[in-house]
Chain A
């Protein structure tokens, strides 16, 4: 029921093509960037919630662990 009305929109068939190209570029770029992230940064970020890597040794999480 909807299809007839959508297909009447001018240039509608370009939509999926644009989508595909856009998606492809987006993902290629994202994967490229992610692959090139440096290891030190990643390790640091991974541990950020856990705080084992933090320079601020005496932060709340540590205190928590001591008090428990």
Chain B
């Protein structure tokens, strides 16, 4: 057969790369700002848009979907074309994908700052954006499959499998977790409530980490590490096992420990075994990466690209070892809700995703501009300060996580909490927050250094927009006659391959999600638990808008140290009207599950105006604007209606009277506040938020009092 001439599209790779760099800067800068806000709360300048609760989701979304996302696309578009020996299927589709994704990112940035959020972690974006994500994601998939189908290389290299699995799984996760009922253009309620919502969310959350931050990056590792080292991957066999084991186990082992905790002891141990088993494929992958460099370690010493990659792969190994450990009950009892989790995710994010991205960029830019890297010295320096940055980030976070958890649990000899005031434990770890932000600053400076280096590199070279090449098309007819082993058969047929990986993840996914759907009917309703009043519902939506959930949990675990501090532990039946659930994942402030009735209305009023009036040294942001903002009551009726559609038992037609009840309740609270001397006005947002806070957890408290 005759070789065909064609070219690789480098333009699209360049576009995604530039976008990734810009959003890396934005995402990390926002991260740095909120890290500093944790010891200088007034850094938000007292305006809503820059307060912690709104910036935190902006930070996570920017680094995950904007920085890492764009790196994934850049890397996939570069490597896919080359391993299948074909130009991307459709240049226009590539451009649609690019601009669509950037538009989504901008919409995300704007809406999150405006407080438009579903509050579900890493899925905060509201429904119109969710739909855009689905469309653009499918365009990416179509372009990828189109390219694979018209390939000139018979077999699909292992990197491509990881890309396909990523595409398939993220599609499923996104759809299942985004099921929500729109109330207005920018507001929706999750279809699921309470415990069920939490289970679906963390099924999504866990697997999003697996299939957005891990599998595509492993694909990139399997392409770029051999390229950079100029030697084949250590073991192709191992990479096949790595692939199937990883996609199979990840989706099973996820929040399975929740499920297994329901089972007899022997079955629980089995659940633990599952989580631990996940270490095997992860470490198989890590070793495969590291051993690719066997005999080439001398080159690692003077090649910054390889250095970045080695640290990245090592960080991957560390994070995937730690993950299963964190799923052990006894470890989780300490680590959960603390900075330990923050340390863990940043070893993954800064170490694995960040360092691998940097390595790829330092390799790719000289290649695509047909030149040498501008300064190897600067890249080496970048390597050292980002590695140091990770250390200065992670160590203080482990420290503060463990220290705070131990303080939360410390009882005196008399059997009372040693640190009954939550704030005391916060103040102890402030120095750690300061060191952590220094680590972040180091890492961020490294990024800027890289900008300069890459820019100068590009200046010195000339961008190769379309890389001319040629390859012999593969003879599909002749191939039909041959019969390979099952796997070779599979990977020659991308669509079948995609289907099979879909089956694999769906089986695992179903095993996990089916009990989640069954559990609803298993949650006993508690007669005392009533739907929120209209005012409380509005207050709850303000709580969601301001991102209070990023610092406050609403989940009291059945430990004595928690029931002593926060009150009766949480019952599943208490959450049945919570669309969405607000359990939170981090206790920067105390749990609020039973906040109702703990303090006076006045306390909350003054505390929200300026937390330091009531709690000197508090790191909670001020919410002074809530005292000024008019509560929007035009939405009440549609919210009540939406909730009823979701199964919350508001009487038919209640939406017509809801605002009347709302005003009544607001008047009561305002009257009380005024009596205590606060210049409160009934139509302000703060009244609704106070109503919500005073309601929290009282259903059961009232019940108890009534029973006595």
B237 & A55 in contact (Cβ 8 Å cutoff): no
Complexed CA–CA distance, A41 and B82 (Å) = 19
- The verdict on A46 contacting B264 (CB below 8 Å), with A2-B195, A5-B522, A19-B274 known, is no
Residues of chain B contacted by A15 (CB below 8 angstroms): 259, 263, 267, 511, 515
- Name which of A1, A41, A47, A48 has the most chain B CB atoms within 10 A of its CB: A48
- The verdict on A50 contacting B230 (CB below 8 Å), with A15-B515, A19-B511 known, is yes
Residues of chain A contacted by B467 (CB below 8 angstroms): 60
- The verdict on A16 contacting B271 (CB below 8 Å), with A30-B241, A49-B82 known, is yes
- The verdict on A12 contacting B83 (CB below 8 Å), with A30-B244, A56-B470 known, is no
B470 & A58 in contact (Cβ 8 Å cutoff): yes
Is B523's CB within 8 Å of the partner chain A? yes
Complexed CA–CA distance, A18 and B507 (Å) = 11
Residues of chain A contacted by B259 (CB below 8 angstroms): 6, 15
Complexed CA–CA distance, A31 and B469 (Å) = 37
Residues of chain B contacted by A8 (CB below 8 angstroms): 522
Complexed CA–CA distance, A20 and B237 (Å) = 24
In-complex Cβ contact of A49 among B83, B274, B469, B523 (8 A): B83
Is B650's CB within 8 Å of the partner chain A? no
Q: Which residue of A lies closest to B248 (CB)?
A: A26
A16 & B570 in contact (Cβ 8 Å cutoff): no
User: C-beta contact mask, B359-391 vs A, less than 8 Å → 1, else 0?
Assistant: 000000001001000000000000000000000
Q: Which of B238-253 contact A (CB under 8 A)?
A: 240-241, 244-245, 248-249, 252
B241 & A16 in contact (Cβ 8 Å cutoff): no
Q: Which of A3-58 contact B (CB under 8 A)?
A: 3-9, 12-13, 15-20, 22-23, 26-27, 30-31, 33-38, 41-42, 44-50, 55-56, 58
A45 & B472 in contact (Cβ 8 Å cutoff): no
In-complex Cβ contact of A46 among B230, B233, B263, B523 (8 A): B233
Residues of chain B contacted by A46 (CB below 8 angstroms): 232-233, 236
What are 13 A-B interface contacts by the 8 Å CB criterion? A2-B261, A2-B519, A6-B261, A6-B515, A7-B262, A9-B518, A16-B263, A31-B241, A42-B236, A45-B236, A48-B157, A49-B79, A56-B3
Contacts A1-B569, A17-B267 supplied; 20 other A-B pairs, CB < 8 Å: A2-B195, A2-B519, A3-B263, A6-B263, A12-B262, A12-B515, A16-B260, A19-B252, A23-B252, A34-B237, A34-B241, A34-B487, A37-B488, A38-B485, A48-B155, A49-B82, A49-B223, A49-B232, A56-B3, A60-B469
Give me the interface of B with A, judged by CB distance under 8 Å.
3, 8, 79, 82-83, 85, 153, 155, 157-159, 195, 223, 226-227, 230-233, 236-237, 240-241, 244-245, 248-249, 252, 258-264, 267, 270-271, 274, 277, 367, 370, 467-472, 484-488, 507, 511, 515, 518-519, 522-523, 557-558, 569-572
5 tightest Cβ-Cβ pairs between the two chains A and B: A6-B262, A60-B469, A46-B232, A3-B262, A7-B262
Give me the interface of A with B, judged by CB distance under 8 Å.
1-9, 12-13, 15-20, 22-23, 26-27, 30-31, 33-38, 41-42, 44-50, 55-56, 58-61, 63-64, 67-68
